[in-house]
Amino acid sequence: RREQFHKLRDVPALTRDGVEIGLHMNAGLLIDCQHASEVGAQSIGLFRTELQFMVAPSFPRQSQQYSLYKRVLDAVGDIPVTFRTLDIGSDKVLPYMTKVEEENPALGWRAIRIGLDRPGLLRMQLRAMLRAAEGRALRIMFPMVAKVGEFVAAREICLREVEFLRQHDYRTPCELKLGVMVEVPSLLWQLDEICQLVDFLSVGSNDLTQYLFAADRDNKRVSARYDDLSAPNLRALKSIVDAAARYGTPVTLCGEMGGRPLEALALAAIGFRGLSMTPSAIGPVKAAIRAVDLGALRAVLMPMIERLDHSVSIRQELQAFADAN
């Protein structure tokens, strides 16, 4: 099967009725980036920068951050990389940082919240990214944005860094795109505003689903109870692609869901045209996409999303559809 997926490396992820789905990969370490060409990823859709911080014995200095980002960009060659700023806190703890005692860490001081409260940290990371991408295109996204103002504040910090580098005669990126992760449900009611402000959106379905259902993503006792392929979840996801389409804002999904073939088909059916996943998932997802008639799938899926019938399992119906085709 590996060989069969390898053969698919250079063919596009095109459905039988001619819809192309962009397949991108998630990475967090330099070694992951070698897989980009092996699996034929169109870009690194999510680079989790916190990995470097989690494996380091002490806080990585700006020069170390710079050197990793530069090596990542060099390793992937021409394909774009979307760097995500530090997503620490909650399940991602840094051993050398003073632990903050919180009743509900998943709802606590994490990600962009830390970045905006400790702008020195965020600024240092942004500067490392901007310098590493000198002369190249750079894409940066911010995790756990819960309100439009947080993106505006982060963007301001970033643009100030660009200005600083220019004044000090550094070469800056030739193009800078700034986006947000859609992973906090409050953003679902700020889609019109956020779509007009950002250069792109990336849906973090791992967190979005956890917060939508109020079910810890790592707690099997409750996480298995709520299905990614259920009407409420698919409605929420569809509202994001619909809004993005209204404003022409590029949107991808980078949660684990996108790397599971059946889920990937459902996401394509509700309108996603870009998915970012773990590298080993690209082959199987591409095979599933190439085997499907998206129009026929939509005809089966859409009524189930629109008219919620709690006795029907969307997952089972989709599986039956995929097996029959």
- Which residues here bind ligand PEP, judged by CB under 6 A? 46, 48, 87, 183, 204-207, 254-255
Q: Taking CB within 5 to 8 Å according to partner kind, which of ligand PEP, Mg ion, none is near residue 45? A: none
Q: Considering the rule CB under 5 A, would residue 179 count as an interface residue with Mg ion?
A: no
The nearer residue to ligand PEP, 84 or 131, going by C-beta atoms, is: 84
The nearer residue to ligand PEP, 51 or 162, going by C-beta atoms, is: 51
Cα gap 92→87, rounded to integer Å: 7
For the bound state, the minimum distance from the C-beta of residue 12 to Mg ion, rounded and expressed in Å, comes to 28
Please, which residues have CB within 8 angstroms of residue 274's CB and are 6 or more apart in sequence? 21, 22, 23, 24, 45, 250, 251, 252, 253
44-77 burial code (b ≥16 CB/10 A, e <16): bbbbbbbbbbeeeeeebeeeebbbbbbebbebbe
Helix ranges (DSSP H) in 168-272:
191-197, 205-212, 220-223, 231-247, 261-270
The nearer residue to ligand PEP, 194 or 254, going by C-beta atoms, is: 254
Closest CA to 137 of 197, 199, 53, 52: 199
Are 86 and 49 within 8 A, CB to CB? Answer: yes
Judged by CB under 5 A, which stretch of 128-136, 177-185, 214-222, 310-318 contacts Mg ion?
Answer: 177-185
Look at the block and give the residue holding tokens 């002369």.
135
How many residues sit in the footprint of Mg ion (CB under 5 A)?
Answer: 3
The nearer residue to ligand PEP, 223 or 313, going by C-beta atoms, is: 223
For the bound state, the minimum distance from the C-beta of residue 14 to Mg ion, rounded and expressed in Å, comes to 29
For the bound state, the minimum distance from the C-beta of residue 50 to ligand PEP, rounded and expressed in Å, comes to 8
The nearer residue to ligand PEP, 148 or 254, going by C-beta atoms, is: 254
187-216 binders of Mg ion (CB under 5 A): 204, 207
- For residue 217 the two structure tokens come to 């993503």
Closest CA to 79 of 29, 27, 121: 27
Contacts with Mg ion by CB under 5 A lie at 183, 204, 207
